[in-house]
Chain A
Amino acid sequence: MKSRKIEEFVFKVLMIASVTLVLCILAGILIVIVMRGASSLNLAMLIRTPEGGYYLGKGGGIANAIVGSLCLAFGASMLSFLFGLPIAFGLQKEYLGRRLARMTRLSLDILWGIPSIVYGAFGFIIMVYLGLRASLLGGIITLALLMLPIMIRSIEEVIRMTPSELKEISYALGATRIETTFTVVLRQALPGMVTGVLLAFGRGIGDAASILFTAGYTDYLPRSLFEPVASLPLAIFFQVSTPIPEVQQRAYASALILLMIVVLISFVSRLLSRRCSRHIVR
């Protein structure tokens, strides 16, 4: 009897310890970034582009990277959602057979595990082959490839959680598979899908390696799909690798901005997904 209670206690302690660890890591990152970056964070950083000598500690900001990153991440999210949604629906047993679906899932899981620099190299080869140079479009396509497995797998999970009885009701009323998918399953899975898109967005906006060759870097705001574009992760990388302390501080300020964007997006998506879940059947 006693040993069972000890077991219970040990596992409780383990759980609390792991939760604390996770919270400490998050707090640690936040503290370091805020302490180092908050002092150089100012309005100019948000709204101005780098001026001559910015990387030597002179005036300017990283508006180019902020806008660039947002363009890249939103564009890639939209593109991969556009392709991901039909695939996620297709993985249901009503459409693809069990075996084909399992193979697709396996490939997606492998793709998920591929390091982003490999996506970057792959994207670069394709672009060279097509005669494109580093550009916003190239970055968006490469990022979309990187996001696709996350997007599909997380959306597919929520679609699979739709109770089969709910689909049965739709079929019993004489609805076809497509009608059931679009009117019943889509509505039911909508809040979960928002979370899936957010996950992919989060990975996309924070990734540096895949856009290093494909999107390039520039000190100007993005003007066209076919010109290079700046991004926050690369801005952080370039600034933190200079020997000048002021510029290094700016790297932390940039990281803080990136973090705030991610927090803001998760907050908005939470709100959105709560709005969509009004009709959800539990």
Chain B
Amino acid sequence: MPHISLSNLTIAYGNHHVLQNITVEIPNNQITAIIGPSGCGKTTLLKSLNRLVDLYEEIKVAGEVRIDGVNIYDPKADILALRKKVGFLSQKPYPLPMSIYDNITFGPRIHGIDGKNLLDQIQKLEKHIPIDSLCPNGRQKETTPRKNHEMAYLVEYYLRLAGLWEEVKERLHAPATQLSIGQQQRLALARALAVEPEVILADEPTSALDPISAQLIEKQFKILKNHYTIVVVTHILRQARRIADYVMFLYLGELVEHGPAHDFFNAPRDQKTRAYVSGEIS
């Protein structure tokens, strides 16, 4: 049973239909790429999965998005729990106006996760991704899970999970704005992971980054997909080829084609997909 399934999802801003009748199931523990030209509703589709579209005015949503069997657009749905379960990475990384350390602890603190719960959360995760596997050869984790210092351990764990620890461990209490933009995006990843989501949504997460930082993010995604379901919006076709296991192609608000990445790129069925993949339209 997949985490996320959409049926007849239609979204309109005022009278302008951005998405029409999207029906798809997003596979678990894989990287799903949403591709398509600019202005075709990719970001709207992504933001509909954690109800960030609610922040836009005059938006109308019809149809269903089911996450773990619950329709998230049900008026009774718990929106805060939804956003805890579905993490989000924006196009341009924005550090919260606080220190690196506080950026990571922001999520756990607002959700009231502390002490023993924190340790449980990390231990559960460590079964899938042990912290030692995240340390470079010959190095050990540096913070130990002591009583009353659980937060510090959580910060190290998630910074390692996002591949940022080695670069910031000396200046955890410095303002996060001092980081380079590539580091800020990995900080954003660590911050999103720290509330222990099951799904990660990423809106063109590398488009503001230099190629090396972009590569780091892609590498981190490949590590993370074993434990998380990842949905990435990208307009870089080559990036989709590199990282995607499953691809959805949006064109002018319609889901033209979707399928496993291998089939999608090698044997596209639809005329438009073929034109897009071969570079005739963009």
Q: Is the CB of A165 within 8 A of B83?
A: no
**How far does the alpha carbon of A280 sit from the alpha carbon of B84 in the complex, in Å?**
25
Q: Is B27 engaged at the interface, CB distance under 8 Å to the other chain?
A: no
Name the distance in Å between A168's Cβ and chain B's nearest Cβ: 6
Stretch at the interface among A23-31, A175-183, A256-264: A175-183
Give a binary string over A158-196; 1 marks a CB under 8 Å from any B CB, 0 the rest.
000001111111111111100100011001100000000
- Residues of chain B contacted by A12 (CB below 8 angstroms): none
Q: Is the CB of A168 within 8 A of B192?
A: no
Q: Is the CB of B97 within 8 A of A184?
A: yes
Q: Is the CB of A174 within 8 A of B97?
A: no
Q: Is B125 engaged at the interface, CB distance under 8 Å to the other chain?
A: no
Give a binary string over B99-112; 1 marks a CB under 8 Å from any A CB, 0 the rest.
10000001100110
Q: Is the CB of B84 within 8 A of A281?
A: no
Q: Is the CB of A280 within 8 A of B107?
A: no
**How far does the alpha carbon of A12 sit from the alpha carbon of B250 in the complex, in Å?**
51
Chain A at the B interface: SS class: helix
- Residues of chain A contacted by B50 (CB below 8 angstroms): 172
**How far does the alpha carbon of A165 sit from the alpha carbon of B110 in the complex, in Å?**
19
Q: Is B52 engaged at the interface, CB distance under 8 Å to the other chain?
A: yes
Task: Known contacts A174-B110, A176-B80, A188-B97; decide if A278 and B175 are in contact (CB<8 Å).
Answer: yes
**How far does the alpha carbon of A208 sit from the alpha carbon of B238 in the complex, in Å?**
70
Q: Is B213 engaged at the interface, CB distance under 8 Å to the other chain?
A: no
A173 touches which one: B92, B106, B176, B177 (CB < 8 A)?
Answer: B106
**How far does the alpha carbon of A282 sit from the alpha carbon of B99 in the complex, in Å?**
15
Q: Is the CB of A171 within 8 A of B52?
A: yes
Per the 8 Å Cβ criterion, residues 71-124 of B in contact with A are 80-81, 83-84, 87-88, 90, 92, 94-99, 106-107, 110-111
B52 touches which one: A93, A172, A183, A278 (CB < 8 A)?
Answer: A172
- Residues of chain A contacted by B87 (CB below 8 angstroms): 172-173
Kindly name the residue among A165, A175, A282 whose own CB sees the greatest number of chain B CB atoms within 10 A.
A175
Q: Is the CB of A184 within 8 A of B88?
A: no
- Residues of chain A contacted by B98 (CB below 8 angstroms): 183, 187, 279
Q: Which residues of B contact A (CB under 8 A)?
A: 50, 52, 55, 57, 80-81, 83-84, 87-88, 90, 92, 94-99, 106-107, 110-111, 175-177, 188, 191-192, 195
Q: Which residues of A contact B (CB under 8 A)?
A: 93, 163-176, 179, 183-184, 187-188, 278-282
**Pairs of residues from A and B, 3 with the lowest C-beta to C-beta distance, nearest first:** A172-B88, A174-B83, A279-B97
- Sample of 5 more A-B contacts, CB < 8 Å, known A173-B192, A175-B110: A167-B55, A173-B88, A184-B96, A279-B98, A279-B177
